[in-house]
């Protein structure tokens, strides 16, 4: 891609990959969306199909069983899935932009060979940072890890953990010495069947209900010494750098969701007639969906730009924060207007508008609230001025 190629222009390979995911989403996911939402459960068959299509190890090199593709391809995948069901999208998002990326960057060769082939073929991953008293203040961790010579012992709990219901392997952050502050935070790879580990309460959520969000409990959980991810005391770097990439993934979710909501609105207003013509023929309605489409395109440019920068090895922290902030705002606005354009039926479960509306709210909350994105953007702008 040349320096002057518009960011929305995709290569032939990227278009083929996108179209494959779009076909899968429309043919396989769409018929199950409402049933999964009502049951608050991801269809295991869909997860297996994601593995079969190579969507659970997009950036993982072929030597570990992955698709050996780009971060941008992962972003395209997340967007396409979210246009049909944000719940499936977040499952694939966490697997790729958080879990796999962290292992690829911070894992030693032994850990990569042990776990990445499973993550590309059968195991779901989860990222366990948040706690009851540690949200935006992510380093106020209460979970402790004790060095017991030939193993680590973890005690504590994690809250709001995405993919926790399905996951086989968790990246868990714990502090080895509270007196060290954030410099005591260490990342561990914890298998689901390790002694002392259990999955607790599953949250009953407003949106993305098929995506599991659970509590994790550690009661003298035994973790092998070799399962430290990165270095002891460097977990804060693992978390910060991984979440910077994860924000772009959330941005992709939000533009996918907004596109799904816009498409649903356009389908409805071109069919619904009032006063003898489709309501799409009225200027007042046209202005609304024109604004929705413009906002969506602006958000897409921000997300794609951040992803391209990441793939190019260039600084992207500010752009990632902007992409997440703005795309989550756009998703809320577009989903809300989509529901309104549906009129009364938009408030029912007969049409997809109400689900997109419920699903949109989480974008401003997880992987860094909107206020935290604003803080990041402001700090970086001031640093550029100094």
Give the pLDDT score at 7: 65
Q: Are residues 111 and 170 in the same domain?
A: no
CA-based nearest residue to 161, from 172, 175, 152, 153: 172
Confidence check: pLDDT of 56 > 50: yes
Higher pLDDT, 174 or 9: 174
CA quadruple 274, 276, 281, 282: dihedral sign: negative
Query: Contact, 36 vs 42, CB < 8 A?
Result: yes
Contact 42, 166 (CB under 8 A): yes
Say if residues 255 and 186 touch (Cβ distance below 8 Å): no
Any residues with CB less than 8 A from the CB of 341 and at least 6 apart, and which? Answer: 265, 268, 269, 279, 285, 288, 289, 353
Residue 1: which pLDDT band, with cuts at 50, 70 and 90? very low
Rounded distance, CA 234 to CA 242, Å? 13
> Mean pLDDT over residues 320-326, rounded?
98
- Report yes or no: 327 and 255 within 8 Å, Cβ to Cβ: yes
Catalytic annotation, residues: 367
Helix (H) or strand (E) holding 235: helix 235-271
pLDDT in tens, 57-106: 999 999 999 999 999 999 999 999 999 999 999 999 999 999 999 999 99
Q: Confirm whether 2 is domain-assigned.
A: no
Crossing angle, helix 86-93 and helix 353-360, to 10 degrees?
40
pLDDT > 90 in the chain, percent = 95
For residues 304-328, average pLDDT: 97
Tell me whether residue 4 is in a domain: no
Give pLDDT, residue 140: 84
Which are the contacts of 295, defined by CB distance < 8 A and separation ≥ 6? 258, 330, 333, 334
Q: Predicted confidence band at 2 (pLDDT cuts at 50, 70, 90)?
A: very low
Domain extent, residue 20, equals: 12-123
User: Does residue 3 register a pLDDT over 60?
Assistant: no
Same domain, residue pair 216 and 278: no
Domain boundary among 178, 209, 233: 233
Instruction: Please provide the size of the chain in residues.
Output: 386
Shared-domain flag, residues 99 and 157 = no
Question: Taking the chain, what is the end-to-end CA distance rounded to the nearest angstrom?
Answer: 33
Helix (H) or strand (E) holding 377: helix 370-385
Contacts 24+ apart (CB under 8 A), 43-52: 43/210, 44/166, 46/88, 47/91, 47/124, 47/166, 49/24, 50/88, 50/91, 50/92, 51/120, 51/121, 51/122
Residue 5 lies in a domain: no
> What is the total count of domains within the chain?
3
Q: Cite the beta strand spans of 269-344 per DSSP E.
A: 273-274, 277-278
Mean pLDDT of 121-144: 91
List, for residues 166-176, the tens digit of each pLDDT value. Answer: 999 999 999 99
User: Poorest-confidence range of 3-17, 38-52, 189-203?
Assistant: 3-17
Please calculate the CA angle 129-131-134 and round it to the nearest 5 degrees: 90
| Together in a domain, 198 and 66 | no
Q: Which residues contact 275 (CB under 8 A, 6 or more apart)?
A: none
- Percent of the chain scoring above 70 in pLDDT: 98
Q: Is residue 342 part of a domain?
A: yes
pLDDT band at 126; cut points 50, 70, 90: very high
- pLDDT of the residue at 313: 96
Indicate whether 5 pLDDT > 60: no
Q: How many CB atoms lie within 10 A of CB 173?
A: 27
Helix 283-311 vs helix 317-341: crossing angle, to nearest 10:
160
* Domain end position, chosen among 233, 266, 296: 233
Q: Which residues contact 338 (CB under 8 A, 6 or more apart)?
A: 261, 262, 264, 265, 292, 346, 353, 356, 357
Provide the token pair at 89: 């999208």
Q: Please determine, for residue 336, whether its predicted confidence score (pLDDT) is greater than 60.
A: yes
Q: Which residues contact 88 (CB under 8 A, 6 or more apart)?
A: 25, 29, 42, 46, 50, 81, 210, 211
End position of a domain, from candidates 123, 156, 176: 123
Q: How far apart are CA 58 and CA 113, in angstroms?
A: 16
For all residues of the chain together, what is the average pLDDT? 96
Helix or strand (DSSP H, E) at 194: none
- Give the pLDDT confidence of 201-238 residue by residue, as tens digits: 999 999 999 999 999 999 999 999 999 999 999 999 99
In a shared domain, residues 373 and 250: yes
Q: Is 3 within a domain?
A: no
**Same structural domain, 202 and 340:** no
CATH (domain of 110)? 1.10.540.10
CATH of the domain at 274: 1.20.140.10
Asked whether residue 6 is assigned to any structural domain, the reply reads no
23-35 pLDDT, tens digit each = 999 999 999 999 9
On whether residue 78 sits in a domain, the answer given is yes
The average pLDDT across 358-371 equals 97
* pLDDT one-digit tens code per residue, 271-281: 999 999 999 99
The token pair at 341 is 């354009």
| Same domain? 167 vs 254 | no
Domain check: are 241 and 353 in the same one?
yes
Q: Tokens 């992709």 appear where? A: 252
Beta-bridge partner residues of 274 = 277
Q: What is the pLDDT of residue 4?
A: 40
Looking at residue 210, the DSSP 8-state letter turns out to be T
Tokens matching residue 101: 């990326």
Could you tell me if 247 and 380 lie in one domain? yes
**94 and 132, same structural domain?**
no
In a domain, 329, yes or no: yes
The pLDDT of residue 282 is above 60: yes
pLDDT of residue 6: 53
Q: Provide the pairing of β-strand 144-147 with 151-162.
A: antiparallel
Are residues 22 and 89 part of one domain?
Answer: yes
Q: Is the pLDDT of residue 358 over 60?
A: yes
The residue that leads in pLDDT, 10 or 32, is 32
DSSP 157: E
One domain, residues 279 and 368:
yes
């Amino acid at each position: 891609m040349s320096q002057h190629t518009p960011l929305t222009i995709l290569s032939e390979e990227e278009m083929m990959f996108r179209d494959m995911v779009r076909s899968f989403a429309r043919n396989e996911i769409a018929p199950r969306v409402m049933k999964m939402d009502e049951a608050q459960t991801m269809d295991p068959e869909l997860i297996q199909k994601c593995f079969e299509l190579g969507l659970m190890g997009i950036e993982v090199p072929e030597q570990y069983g992955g698709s050996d593709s780009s971060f941008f391809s992962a972003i395209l995948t997340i967007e396409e899935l979210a246009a049909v069901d944000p719940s499936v999208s977040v499952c694939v998002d966490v697997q790729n932009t958080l879990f796999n990326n962290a292992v690829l960057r911070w894992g030693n060769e032994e850990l990569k060979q042990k776990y990445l082939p499973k993550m590309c073929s059968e195991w779901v991953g989860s990222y366990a940072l948040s706690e009851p008293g540690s949200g935006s203040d992510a380093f106020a961790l209460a979970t402790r890890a004790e060095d017991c010579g030939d193993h680590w012992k973890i005690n504590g709990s994690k809250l709001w953990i995405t993919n926790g219901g399905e996951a086989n392997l968790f990246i868990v952050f714990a502090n080895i010495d509270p007196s060290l502050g954030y410099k005591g935070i260490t990342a561990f790879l914890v298998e689901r069947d390790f002694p002392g580990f259990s999955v607790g309460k599953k949250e009953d959520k407003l949106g993305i209900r098929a995506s599991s969000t659970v509590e994790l409990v550690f009661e003298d959980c035994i973790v092998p010494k070799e399962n430290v991810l990165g270095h002891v005391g460097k977990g804060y770097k693992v978390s910060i750098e991984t979440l910077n990439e994860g924000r772009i993934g959330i941005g992709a979710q939000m533009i996918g969701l907004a596109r799904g909501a816009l498409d649903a609105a356009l389908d409805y207003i071109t069919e619904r007639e009032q006063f003898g013509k489709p309501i799409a023929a009225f200027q007042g309605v046209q202005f609304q969906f024109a604004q929705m489409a413009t906002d969506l395109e602006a958000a897409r440019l921000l997300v794609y730009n951040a992803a391209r920068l990441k793939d190019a090895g260039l600084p992207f922290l500010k752009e990632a924060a902007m992409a997440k902030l703005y795309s989550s705002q756009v998703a809320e606005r577009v989903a809300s207007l989509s529901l309104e354009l549906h009129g009364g039926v938009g408030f029912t479960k007969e049409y997809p508008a109400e689900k997109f509306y419920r699903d949109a709210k989480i974008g401003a909350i997880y992987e860094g609230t909107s206020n935290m994105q604003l803080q990041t953007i402001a700090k970086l702008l001031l640093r550029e001025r100094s």
